Chains A and B, each alone.
Chain A
Amino acid sequence: MKTKIFSLLIIFVFLGSCTKDWEEMNTDPDRPIDAPSTNVIADVIRAVSATVFGVGDMDEMAGYAGQIAKIQYIDEAKYKFREGTIDNNWLTLYLRANDLKVVIDKESKSGGNKNLLAIAITLRCYIFQVITDWWGDVPYSQSCDPANLSPGYDSQQTIYTDLLAKLKEANSTYDNNTTLNPLGTGANLMFNSVARWKKFTNSLRLRVAIRISKVAPVVARQHIEEILGDPTTYPIMVDNTDNALLNWPGGSWKEPYRANIDAGRDDHGMGEQYVNELIAYADPRLPIYAKPATSDGAYRGYVVGGPNVSINTISRLGARYRDNLTGFSMWMRVAEVKFYIAEAAFNGWSTNGVTAQAAYESGVNLSCLEAGVAPAAITTYMAQPIVAWDGSVNKIYMQKWFCLMKMGAEAWAETRRTDVPVLPMAIQSVFPGHNRPPFRYKYPQSEENLNTDNALAAKAGISDNFWGKKMWWDTRTGVN
């Protein structure tokens, strides 16, 4: 009997130690350890399009830029923020910046795909320009590092300097041998050739440079002149086929504004100032940008952050911009590039012989063509004194504002840089006493909770969450 019991006990002990195959069992069979870079890039393009050019989280950049106004759930337009929305924007952009970091780390190893590396660098610069243009000083050099859970903040100046360097590096990374360095299906979603990706990289560098042209003209000029002076090395966008955009396929991936409508929402109308200016300019883009109000057929915008009115009196976005399941999210238009050149020429910088007027006119023309305006109507439009080039830089700015339809982030950045047009604070602002829309986006509360010391230091000088400390490149005076 005793032996029997004893042998049972021995067996008990062996029982517990049987753990063969457990490491395999504890590996998720449905999720890979690695995934192709081109598919990661594809999801970055999709997610950034949905975040920066979407409405899902009710972000307000196009409202800050005076172009699009909330007509329902107007709280955010009055700067009553939803913490979750802000946090989600910050989260999405950083997650995607990290996805690209993983791609860059992988493809920069020997044998890596040079084109995907260059594309990842470019997209990452695009994302970080958005991040810093929204929040100013943000984690950059120490970000996207799982070993550093308290990433320090870089000044916006540091970030901008590095973005310019990175974009230059990306341009020289591209490789025409697409057999060795194929774009794959993912990168093809935006551009299906290395040449066009390369144009986007250099055009983005122009955008980055022009943003700092008032605060750091020497640096900006150097980069712009380098690019414009050597089109062979630094090709840029030249016509509307070069536009950087994502076409949504519909189905599970509908264009975000349309998806919003399909979700039963009708939250956005045209901004009053946008509509009024387009009317004042007799702009042929207006009937494309906007629908007439259902109540009386008039084009009527809605004052950003205003009191409730009957929404049938307000123009909605035009069908091209919100009714199309397979619509597009525009990352950069060639017309913008023309306006950068125009501004550089206006500044007296070398633009490879292109005059400010030529570039300006080309920008207006390309923007109207892109919107689908008939050439004859464009000619009429451009002949008006209010449009015709007269050497005033504000015309460039105004036309860029018109051109940046549904590109709220860029329009908000440019209106902060140029103060053209002059935009008011939302009339029912919960932070009274300011004379411009927000200078910045509210830092997410999560950063203050989780990266406390760094976040609090970065927050110094901010007032009412959205004002106070300006962007480094924001040289406006007399604004608060």
Chain B
Amino acid sequence: MLAIRNFILYISKVQNYLLTSICKPKTCSMKRLCVFLACLVLVGVNLAQAQTVRITGTVTSSEDGMPIPGVSVIVKGTTNGAATNIDGKYELNAGADAQTLVFSSVGFKAQEVAIGGRAVIDVVLESESLQMEELVVTALGISRSKKSLVYSVQDVKGDALTSTKETNVVNSLSGKIAGIQVTSAGGSLGSSSRITIRGNNTFTGNTQPLFVVDGTPIVNYSSDVTGGAVTGGNAQDFGNSAMDIDPNSIESISVLKGGSAAAAYGMRAANGVIIITTKKGSQKKKGLGINFSHTTTLDRVTLLPKFQNEYGQGKYGDEYIYNHDKVLVDPDDRINQGDDIDWSTYQNYSTTGSFNYVDGNGNGIYDNEDVSWGPRLDIGLMIPQFNSPYNATTGYDATPWISQPNNVKDFFQTGVANEDAIDFNITTETSSTRLGLSNSTSKGVIPNTDLTRRNVSLASTLKLAKKFKVDVNGNYVNTKNDNIAGTSYNVNNVMQSLGNWFGRQVNMKALKDNWNSFDPFGQPYNWNASYHNNPYWTVNNNTTQRTRNRVFGNVAATYTITDWLNVMGRVGTDYQYEFRKHVEFDKSNGFKDGGYFSQRQYEISETNADLMLNFDKNITQDIRLDGTFGAAYMNYKNRFNFYDTRGLTVPNLFTITNAKANNIQTTFQEKESNSVYALANITYKWLTISGTFRNDWSSTLPKDAWSFKYYSIGANFIFTDAFKLGTDILSFGKIRASYAKTGTATDPYKLNATFGSQASAFSGVTLFGNSRTIPPKGLVNETTYASEIGTELRFVNNRFGVDATYFSKKSVDMIMDIEIPKSTGYNLQTINAGEIVNKGVELSLNAGIIKSANGFNWEVDINWSKIENKVNKLDSEGKLKTLQITSSWSALVNARPGSDYGVLTCTGFARDAEGRLIIDPSTGAPLADTKLRDFGSVVPKWMGGIRNTFSYKGLSLTTFIDARMGGKIFSLTKYFGIQAGVLEETTKNGIRENGAIVGENVFTEFGDAVLGQVDGSGTLVKDADGNYIGTGVKNDVTISAFDLYQGLFGIQEVALIDASYVKLREVSLSYNLPKSIVAKLGFIQSVNVGVFGKNLLLLYSDKSNTAGIDPETGTGANQNGLGIEINALPSVRSFGFKMNIGF
């Protein structure tokens, strides 16, 4: 007993250390109380003494009668147990009052066996075809039989997560779980994924679910330097920090979607909970087990925008313009009114009126233009270009003007990712431990971008005494990028130029070969000196590095008081420190003063402590009561330091002491919460009633509102059991229903108005401004009411299964900073307001189409969900008509009472009553609507995925198709890509040769076009409402394609696309070497090899996606990028090889 006492002292020291080292000393004594309590509980260990009985036995498989190693044998209601060894044998000491043993193992049906005084209990386990007794990890890390749950939970097992090796584990969930939407940000290594469970619950706040690892929440901090919709400046996507979790260490992920499931996690669970259970030490055999895996993945860019290859850089180069203008005498009648144009030949016209490179800075003919409205390619023209030979007296020589169809594609390289993981499993009589090490290094498809991640994870279960065990989970993660690709509408995003503003004739190889040299004018070697960097200059010189070091984990001590009661104390922490540095070289576009750099430091910590009293008792033979009383404490801190400079004295020396001026910002945030909760389930044979209650106290709310309570209630009814309906056709059926109320608090410091200061003083004078946000009056917690009803049916001996859920969720009193009229002198006001309703249906189907124990198997899993996301109210008085969720280039994503969430609102084409475009008869250009119009919601109508798994003996083939239908996107790639003339549609139907007639050879997808009505003086007439009037006469006015497309700025409708898609997301083939062969290898236990491909094909995309972008697109993890595509980095297609060897 002394050893145990010492251990307890040690544990309490560890806890004390964790707490005091992270929290400032003056905060309340709650933590100390917690520690004290934990000690109290632990000290209680020695009070419980009981008689024990020794039980032994062998576990075999019903299929082949062979012993099964690694079966968990647990005394029911306790954590006391053992695992079978390689020969299927086990032995354990059960309490004298122990009644039942529970045998469970992956791939077999769990079995409960009454002890009945026996000392030897042999058991035959049936293999689990459809996992009827599937255990899922639910709230608070409690594994429960799925069939008794009152709400819908879906989980994904570790091997399905690693089948294609996603770096960001969140991406592995896409399409595999009904009702969740994962949006990843394209081809940038380590970028964010936005995950939404059962629709958007908030307008401006965080929609991200809570991530819980082994029972303790972790920080899923997402700190894109700027959100998706921000233009200008510097922007990178640094990913959401849940991506630090090593997929190799994950045993399973459960997604708790509804309020009932989430009530146990309190206020941060309102958006759902992602519960990650890491692998624990193998219990398959005593001694040492080692697994090694290696994966190599090759990434290639796919889905580049569809570019044209007929006209190069410049302006007024349409053959139509040349032919139109050359016959005119009065220069004012010409389309191209430039001076000194030689109209004699198209060749001469080209170099005098359309493009002629002198210095790329505007001193030639449109040589600084970054649009492709210049001379026609591949017809033998000779034009001076940036990569032509240069002569000091005559400048650049004329060289052949030829197309470069692959210039953008050639910029990208093959990305290579290598991942090695090794884990050691050590199992002894009293402990099982897993040590996992992994190292992954990735080179991006964008040159000079990378990601390195090293994970160390240690999970250990120590049975220190018969009734006392300690679980320790620790993870260390080092995430490092030497350079992260730029995103957003930003000069450091290579796609801003390559995808939008580019010369289609630009020779990429010349840019690549010379990026580190300068042109004769001292400018960096480039195709354009005014607006862009050479993309190779950008990726090699203007880099963003990041290092994150992170430790997270927990220590949990469980003491079994009796076989139906245990108490657990758990302290977990998540600490991360991140350093980022962005540099821009001198002479970069935008930074001419010696260069620029910025540094950001983040120090984030979160501590969670829990104390739980768990009970599980069979009151009678048929009635079981189980549940938990608990208390929880959380403290979160976020310290952020920002530094940047304006101008460097020694060019390209990126140190603070070399800076000409310093800008500094520091912020610190801290919040705390306390909670008490109770969960209880009462089960009578085929009926389970579950309830939860929770009271949270949050430091972020006003004193009179910081305590708030909520609850859930639900029932599960297995009607096949109740009415003895089970037949060969319908083998199992249940219905479930639940209702939950969940509360949420907010961020710190919302309650007071404070003055803000500028990042730099002005001639020594600090600069202060009043708060831009009106603080709230009488702030209260947010509330979400959620109800769901569902059924789970199994047919034909469980071969086919259906799980269907209807849910309805209403979120009210959202705490948000809403825009108010700026004439109030403020920008925002913090209020409790709004009502968002999400209703939907989720369907999962599982079919074992072909099943044969030793032969061919074919299994199909289908997930499908449809969500209706509506805004009922914005503010309680109904005064607020529109709330802007995000916007980009005047395309607004709005919330409006009575409408779908996220309505895309922007300027469209002016149309007549029949919906025909109205054309300005004097120019032939379509007119812009005088008022903003709604173009539908950004939220998809439905989402789904189909997974087929074919297996034959050790061979397994999986295909996964993912679909999302509906939802609008404003595509900046299309918006500017057509204005810049780089996209394919700008050369279609001969419009650059013969001119464009709207409604006839261009924009026909927008419908017919008619002429607008003009008055006597030729001025367009409007009706009383200010709308243009159509004459009904079909448009026949020819306009140059150049004028037409360049005139589209301000008409965002041209760039709206339907984001529907169907993708072949994954194909993987893996082979388990037969045991017979492996056995000959001696010490090797298992060998698995596989190949896989992911993001293989875009099978379907809407016809409105003429730009050819990836319709599954997003930027950042927050709402800023919702419904908006801003020069997304092209998505990648990956092929990989993996192998896994067990020792």
Contact = CB atoms under 8 A, between A and B. Distances in A.
Contacts of A21: 26-28
Contacts of B1050: 75, 80-81, 430
Interface in B652-672: 660-663, 666-668, 670-672
Contacts of A264: 491, 530-531, 588-592
Interface string B558-591: 0001100101000000000000000000001111
A46 B767 contact: yes
Given A15-B34, A26-B748, A451-B823, A95 B762 contact: no
B575 to A, nearest CB: 19
Nearest to B30: A18
A67 to B, nearest CB: 21
A15 B825 contact: no
Contacts of B591: 262-264
Nearest to A149: B820
A286 B91 CA distance: 100
Given A4-B44, A42-B767, A252-B662, A17 B697 contact: yes
B315 interface: yes
A30 B530 contact: no
B589 A32 contact: no
A19 to B, nearest CB: 6
Contacts of B366: 308, 310
A31 B756 contact: yes
Contact of A313 (B29, B339, B768, B824): B339
Contacts of A98: 770, 824-826
A392 interface: no
Q: Contact residue range for chain B?
A: 35 or more
A47 B826 CA distance: 15
Contact of B755 (A16, A35, A75, A81): A35
Interface string B669-686: 011101110000000000
B671 A25 contact: yes
A119 to B, nearest CB: 14
B332 to A, nearest CB: 10
Interface in A1-56: 1, 4-5, 8-9, 11-23, 25-36, 38-40, 42-44, 46-47
A28 B748 contact: yes
A430 to B, nearest CB: 8
Given A16-B631, A34-B755, A449 B822 contact: no
A250 B661 contact: yes
Nearest to B894: A449
B760 A444 contact: no
B1020 A432 contact: yes
Contact of A447 (B695, B768, B823): B823
A146 B822 contact: no
B339 A32 contact: no
B1074 to A, nearest CB: 54
A262 B829 contact: no
Given A46-B767, A189-B762, A252-B663, A31 B823 contact: no
A16 B365 contact: no
A150 interface: yes
Contact of B667 (A4, A13, A22, A30): A30
A72 interface: yes
A157 interface: no
B822 A26 contact: no
Contacts of B755: 31-35, 40
A294 interface: yes
B252 to A, nearest CB: 30
Contact of B821 (A149, A189, A250): A149
A321 interface: no
Contacts of B675: 16
Interface stretch (B376-384, B799-807, B878-886): B878-886
B1019 to A, nearest CB: 4
B822 A95 contact: yes
A19 B706 contact: yes
A99 interface: yes
Contacts of A47: 769
B825 A143 contact: yes
A126 to B, nearest CB: 16
Contact of B767 (A16, A43, A91, A144): A43
Nearest to A14: B33
Interface stretch (A82-90, A197-205, A371-379): A82-90
B681 to A, nearest CB: 18
Given A97-B825, A310-B366, A16 B749 contact: no
A253 B703 CA distance: 42
B646 interface: yes
Contact of B825 (A145, A150, A430): A145
B769 A99 contact: yes
Contacts of A26: 671, 699-700, 748-749, 751
B1100 to A, nearest CB: 34
Nearest to A87: B822
B760 A151 contact: no
A323 interface: no
A19 B826 contact: no
A72 B529 CA distance: 14
A95 B827 contact: yes
Interface string A204-240: 0000000000000000000000000000000000000
A186 B699 contact: no
B727 interface: no
A353 interface: no
B35 to A, nearest CB: 12
B1068 to A, nearest CB: 46
Contacts of B1017: 433
Nearest to B771: A31
A179 interface: no
A295 to B, nearest CB: 7
Given A21-B26, A99-B769, A447-B823, A433 B631 contact: no
Contacts of B117: none
B752 A28 contact: yes
Contacts of B668: 28-30
A335 B28 CA distance: 66
Contact of A101 (B338, B825, B890): B825
A251 B661 contact: yes
Contacts of B753: 33
A178 B764 CA distance: 21
Contacts of B759: 252
Contacts of B762: 42-43, 46, 189, 249, 253
Contacts of A433: 1017, 1019-1020
Interface string B634-650: 00000000000011000
A16 B890 contact: no
A370 interface: no
A388 interface: no
Contacts of B890: 82-84
Interface string B531-567: 1000000000000000000000000000001100101
Interface of B: 26-30, 33-34, 37, 41, 44, 315, 337-339, 362-366, 368-369, 491, 530-531, 561-562, 565, 567, 588-593, 611, 613, 629-631, 633, 646-647, 660-663, 666-668, 670-672, 674-676, 695, 697, 699-700, 703, 706-707, 748-749, 751-760, 762-770, 772, 774, 819-827, 829, 879-882, 884, 887, 889-890, 922, 928, 932, 1017, 1019-1020, 1026, 1049-1050
20 contacts: A8-B37, A26-B748, A30-B667, A31-B749, A39-B767, A46-B758, A75-B1050, A80-B1050, A83-B890, A96-B769, A144-B823, A188-B765, A251-B760, A252-B663, A253-B763, A262-B592, A430-B928, A446-B819, A446-B821, A450-B880
Question: Ordered nearest first, which 3 A-B pairs have the shortest CB separation?
Answer: A98-B825, A251-B661, A144-B825
Given A22-B699, A95-B826, A451-B821, 18 more contacts: A19-B28, A22-B672, A23-B703, A33-B754, A35-B755, A40-B770, A44-B769, A75-B1049, A84-B887, A94-B822, A99-B769, A146-B774, A150-B821, A263-B590, A264-B591, A313-B339, A432-B1019, A449-B881
